[in-house]
């Protein structure tokens, strides 16, 4: 058996790394956009978009896109996995906040939760209250 040179090993590792980023996807917009250095979208990204802006929008606070994403991620985590009364804090670039959920309850066949989202921007605090129900596909829809 012949041993590989250091150069060959490095070449194989580089090729393997490049090929690891390859794949097929029905989403042509993101399939080619993801490279070796680009992070994959969060596994919960589709669940967060299903929140339709959550209740953080009801606070009246003006948030950057990244701060809004952090706020919605906190809402999703709170609704999905948090015990009643537990706080899920989040911190963005220009704002921070916390989400607190109440105990789950049933509406027909859906699990629902009431929750509160407090946002602080420039030292000013705003709070919104609302409820969301969990759909059969695992997403949450805020009640209006």
In this predicted structure, what is the pLDDT of residue 97? Answer: 95
Three-state DSSP class for residue 88: strand
pLDDT tens, 31-65? 333 333 434 445 466 666 766 777 788 788 888 98
Task: Compare 24 and 51 and report the one with higher pLDDT.
Answer: 51
Three-state DSSP class for residue 108: coil
In this predicted structure, what is the pLDDT of residue 105? Answer: 95
| Distance between CA atoms of residues 97 and 135, nearest Å | 26
The gap from C-alpha 11 to its chain's centroid, in whole angstroms, comes to: 36
Supply 98's token pair.
């916390």
Residue 125 has pLDDT above 90, yes or no: yes
pTM above 0.75, yes or no: no
Which residue in the block uniquely carries the two structure tokens 């490279």? 35
pLDDT tens, 100-123? 999 999 998 899 999 999 999 999
Supply 2's token pair.
């012949």
* Residue 6 binned pLDDT confidence (cut-offs 50, 70, 90): very low
Distance linking the first and last C-alpha atoms of the chain = 70
Closest by Cα among 84, 128, 75 to 105: 84
The gap from C-alpha 61 to its chain's centroid, in whole angstroms, comes to: 19
């Amino acid at each position: 058996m012949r041993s590989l040179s250091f150069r060959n090993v490095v070449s194989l590792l580089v090729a393997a790394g490049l090929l690891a980023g390859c794949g097929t996807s029905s989403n042509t917009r993101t399939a080619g956009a993801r490279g070796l250095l680009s992070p994959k979208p969060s596994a919960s990204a589709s669940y967060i978009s299903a929140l339709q802006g959550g209740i953080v929008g009801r606070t009246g606070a003006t948030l950057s896109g990244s701060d809004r994403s952090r706020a919605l991620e906190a809402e999703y985590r709170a609704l999905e996995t948090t015990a009643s009364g537990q706080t899920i804090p989040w911190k963005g670039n220009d704002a921070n906040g916390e989400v607190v959920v109440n105990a789950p309850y049933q509406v027909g066949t859906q699990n629902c939760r009431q929750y509160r989202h407090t946002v602080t921007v420039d030292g000013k605090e705003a709070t919104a209250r609302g409820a969301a129900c969990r759909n059969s596909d695992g997403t949450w829809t805020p009640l209006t």
